[in-house]
A = this chain, B = another copy of it.
């Protein structure tokens, strides 16, 4: 009985509605972001003055220093660095690859996958076996694969409206392709780039050898979508063609790095934390403007836009710029570990890591009651053409903070162009539109404002009284 009373009391503390003040506050937040935002200026520096920021690199250090210094200018209550050891992998010299068929050499565009081994210094030359999935690989078996280069050529599915679903349907080729092909004695792996467009950019990304014995670990690289088609066509004419590739990437010992954190301490409930974040590291080929410079600067601007809009948060609002999302998730793991050790109650965590494109809404990982709450706020966002409020995943960096009662969310921008740039040398500042970026920052700030004002339902689903 005592428990039930407690439950009822707690349930009354949050609400399924909003007020006219909220409408006005959102209007002010959007206006401020579009007329006086900082996200684009910060992204310009991060992209053009620093550039690609792979974990453990000099640029990643510069990005830590820069974002900390910028957060310190905002008059937050605290800004600090949270130490974390991160992997360090370097690409080395530009990769080289060609197809040798019919006495002719055709150069193709490849790049080493992150975490891959180098080839021997003189490169690898071998015949190629084209497959579309691991089942096909298994069916071919050792006999047909040993000594060959395995070429994974399953394209992203063009008729899926959400391009992240198309990515999800292909990315195992990149992540586990070398691990699987290595089991059958392949000498190298070439993967079709995770790109829905036909172009000449190879797209890197993380891969893993898992527990594969050292002697079975083989170099793996991505090939551009245009050249994947070239290779596939060439194989149809000459299945015994030779493929040559050379890469000189290298894994070093882990190095010291940091998450960058800024906080406005809550005026009423300082141990209820709301965090907003993106990842500070990026791949090395472009300048990481969309992935995830956009999420970094939008998250920084959330705290600034709250201040500019005259909002004094009741709860503690943190921006967390996570280190090492791309190839280790060490920053996110460390942040969650420390949050748990300090018993910090993270009621809401919002991640922006899907590019700086026009925001369409959010995906929410939470229970039914909390989802019902946020759905009640949806009409507030209609004037800003924010329409997507669905249950689903949140993001890799906030994921470890999941609890029974909190809300994790991911900003969902328009996804059509994301994989044109993802992990490639054309993920650059000029492909980010200022207004689209600023609309994203305003959309995030608005949701943070609402969660700060109304909180979340603190009662686990199974203890709630059903009406």
Contact = CB atoms under 8 A, between A and B. Distances in A.
19 contacts: A30-B161, A34-B158, A34-B159, A158-B435, A161-B384, A161-B385, A161-B439, A196-B435, A358-B358, A358-B414, A385-B387, A385-B388, A387-B387, A414-B414, A416-B433, A416-B435, A416-B439, A417-B433, A417-B436
A434 B197 contact: yes
A197 B433 CA distance: 9
A91 interface: no
Contact of A385 (B197, B360, B383, B434): B360
- A contact residues, range: 20 to 34
A31 interface: yes
Contacts of A35: 158-159
| Chain copies in the assembled complex | 2
Nearest to A161: B384
Interface string A31-60: 100110000000000000000000000000
A358 B197 CA distance: 15
A383 B161 contact: yes
A420 interface: yes
Interface string A415-454: 0110010000000000001111001000000000000000
A159 B31 contact: yes
Interface in A386-410: 387-388
Interface in A351-389: 358, 360, 383-385, 387-388
A155 B417 CA distance: 29
Interface string A194-207: 00110000000000
Contacts of A31: 159
A159 B435 contact: no
A397 to B, nearest CB: 25
Nearest to A162: B385
Contacts of A196: 435
A239 to B, nearest CB: 27
A417 B439 CA distance: 12
A379 B30 CA distance: 28
A384 B387 CA distance: 12
A329 B385 CA distance: 31
A435 B35 CA distance: 30
Contacts of A383: 161
Contacts of A436: 416-417
Given A163-B435, A414-B414, 12 more contacts: A30-B159, A34-B159, A35-B159, A161-B383, A161-B384, A196-B435, A197-B433, A197-B434, A360-B385, A385-B388, A387-B388, A416-B433
A158 B37 CA distance: 11
Interface in A180-229: 196-197
Contacts of A360: 385
Nearest to A414: B358
A365 to B, nearest CB: 20
A462 B222 CA distance: 65
7 cross-chain pairs, A with B, having the tightest CB-CB distances, nearest first: A387-B387, A31-B159, A34-B159, A416-B435, A34-B158, A416-B436, A35-B158
